[in-house]
Amino acid sequence: MPENVKEAPSGAWYRTVGSKIWYFFNSLKLTLFVLIALAVVSIFGTVVEQNAPVEQYVTQYGEEWTKFILSTRLNDMYHAWWFLLFLAALALNIIVCTFERFPPKWKSLLDHKPDKFDSGLIDKFSHRETVTLNASSDAVKDRLLNAFKKKKYGVVSMGTKGDYYFYAWKGRIGRLGSDVTHISLLLILAGAIVGSYAGYKDFFAVNVGGTVSVPQAEFKLRLDKFWIDYYDSGQIKQYNSVLTVVEDGKDVMEKQIWVNEPLFYKGIRFYQSSYGQSWNRVQEAQISMKLKGKEALEPPVALKWGELTALPGGKYSVKLVGYTADFAYDEGTNQVFSKSAEASNPAIKVEVYEGGKEVSSPWLFVRYPGIFPAIPNSDVDLVFTGYIPVMYSGISVNKDPGTNIVWLGTGVMGLGFIFAFFVYHRRIWVHVRETGKSTEVKIGGTINKNNFVLEKELKDLTESLASD
């Protein structure tokens, strides 16, 4: 070959790149980095409420931080591309590590029986016992096989009369504990990804008697009853809801739920998560007439929602048609809304009729009575004096088709832990040799963990041989 011609590299470029990629995903450093990163970002996912309205983030964190939260998807972290990238990196790391370690381990477990026996091997073991028995080698052989059988060891023997070799084993499956745990982690990750894309979490506040449509489902949910249980001290003990599933116009299921006792129907769980007073409806409102020139109010009149009620004197009738807990008005859209769910500035809207004709539809305020005349060109004004709220039940909705996969992974992980921590792979070699009128027995072995167990079993075997 000419001197100016260089020899081509023995390996193709893609093999070199491929080995580097394989080494990268087989790295313990990658495992630690991904696990620490997931732990850190999970803290953000706990601190920053997920899937909340944008207004809530603005109120809590301000506009600048809200922009950052939305741009990085910290408000929906578990669906963010970068979070899924961490999960994918962890999954690849687990797969590569499993493929790297499992095949040789499996091969060694299948081909664990020795083809030949070196008697000097026992002398090299740190755990060994030697005993001399006044019995023939055949008798010792039978005792030994019986002892291994009682301890549920697998055993093979070889040799000729007067010189026998034995190899016994137990707990080989314990060597696979880490691999089973790896599989469980993959199942849990798969379940999390399936639940993330095919499932959802939602929340809705339902007034008593109200019905809501369930997302991604062909049935509705109705709140029939809500109440609170109290301790004798007056503290809240429990809050409860009676929910009815309505499907195809029929009531198909009813259940009382409370905290930690959800309703489960067609793969969707409904949890009792909160309660409060409705911000846009009341059960009943009380108003009083105030006659011109008089400071005292007339006796209060109870107004039911949507019902026309005649006022004393018979001239006017009033219907309750609106309520807002924290009154606010948008001049741009000419819309009335509630600034919050708290009853900070409660107001009701009524329709006033005279002789069957609507003459006004004012807003009445508890805190600001008489701020606007309720009935134009009249000697009568209306004052909002109180109300009975409508309670709502806060129901959290959770559909997670990956739950069963996660539970399966959890079960497999438990099995892997049992294999890894409670099943010990023991291997024992025995050499039985006749020496005149006695028989010498050498026993030695290894164990993958917990040396105390092996020491005890070797002593038990020697004592069993000597006692027979």
- CA atoms within a 13 Å half-sphere pointing along the CA-CB vector of 197: 7
Farthest-apart Cα atoms in the chain, separation: 133
At residue 353, the pLDDT reads: 95
Instruction: Supply 329's token pair.
Output: 């008005």
The whole-number pLDDT of residue 447 equals 93
Q: Which amino acid is at 52?
A: A
Residue 18: pLDDT band with limits 50, 70, 90: low
- pLDDT for the residue 9: 46
Which residue shows structure tokens 């107004």? 303
When pLDDT is averaged across residues 408-418 and rounded to a whole number, the result is: 94
Contact 48, 69 (CB under 8 A): yes
Q: How far apart are CA 30 and CA 48, in angstroms?
A: 27
For position 17, what pLDDT does the model report?
55
> In this structure, how many other beta carbons lie within 10 angstroms of the beta carbon of residue 270?
21
Q: What pLDDT is recorded for position 16?
A: 62
**Does domain 112-171+424-467 match CATH 3.30.310.80?**
yes
Report how far Cα 435 is from the mean position of its chain's Cα atoms. Answer: 67
Highest averaged pLDDT of the listed ranges 1-10, 48-57, 334-343, 454-463: 454-463
pLDDT of the residue at 242: 96
- Has this prediction a pTM greater than 0.75? no
Tell me the range of 47-61, 106-120, 346-360 where mean pLDDT is highest. Answer: 346-360
Evaluate if residue 56 carries a pLDDT over 80: no
372, 361 contact by CB (below 8 A): no
What pLDDT, on a 0 to 100 scale, did the predictor assign at position 2? 43
| Whole-number percent of the chain with pLDDT over 70 | 96
Strands 426-435 and 335-338: unpaired
| CA atoms in the 13 A half-sphere facing the CB of 47 | 10
C-alpha to C-alpha distance for 400 and 190, rounded to whole angstroms: 12
Give the range among 38-42, 152-156, 287-291 with minimum mean pLDDT: 38-42
Tens digit of pLDDT for each residue in 289-327? 999 888 889 999 999 999 999 999 888 999 999 999 999
Mean pLDDT of 193-202: 82
Average pLDDT, the chain: 87
The residue with greater pLDDT, 5 or 354, is 354
**pLDDT confidence of residue 164:** 92
Alpha-carbon span 233 to 257, nearest angstrom: 24
pLDDT of residue 439: 92
Give the confidence band of 220 by pLDDT, cuts at 50, 70, 90. very high
Confidence band of 8 (pLDDT split at 50, 70, 90): very low
Helix (H) or strand (E) holding 29, with range, is helix 28-47
The model's pLDDT over 103-144, given as tens digits with 9 standing for 90+, comes to: 877 877 777 777 778 878 898 998 999 999 998 898 999 999
From the list 384, 382, 387, 385, the residue with the least C-alpha distance to 289 is 382
Q: What is the pLDDT of residues 438-464, one digit of tens each?
A: 999 999 999 988 899 999 999 989 888
**For residue 1, pLDDT beyond 50:** no
Q: Which of 20, 30, 192, 186 shows the shortest CA–CA distance to 102? A: 186
The number of beta carbons lying within 10 Å of the beta carbon of residue 66 is: 18
Surface-to-core class of residue 443, CB atoms within 10 Å of its CB (0-12 exposed, 13-18 middle, 19+ buried): buried
The predicted pLDDT at position 6 comes to 46
Over residues 241-252, the mean pLDDT reads 95
Average of pLDDT values for 187-192?
A: 89
465 pLDDT above the threshold of 70: yes
3-state secondary structure 99-162: HHHHHHHHHHHHCCCCCCCCCHHHHCCCEEEEEEECCCHHHHHHHHHHHHHHCCCEEEEEEECC
Distance CA 364, CA 282 (A): 14
Give me the residue label for tokens 């099943």: 423
407-416 mean pLDDT:
94
Kindly state the tokens that stand for 435: 């020496």
pLDDT at 60 over 50: yes
pLDDT for the residue 192: 84
If residue 446 lies in a helix (H) or strand (E), which one and from where to where?
Answer: strand 438-447
Q: Give the start-end residues of each E strand in 175-293.
A: 200-207, 211-213, 220-230, 236-247, 250-258, 263-265, 268-291
* Mean pLDDT computed over 42-60: 80
Whether residue 84 is predicted with pLDDT greater than 50 in this model: the reply is yes
| Contact (CB, 8 A) for 425 and 450 | no
With 50 as the cut, is the pLDDT of residue 82 above it? yes
- Two tokens, residue 335: 């819309």
- φ, ψ (nearest 5 deg) of residue 273: -120, -25
Q: How confident is the model at residue 467 (pLDDT cuts 50, 70, 90)?
A: confident
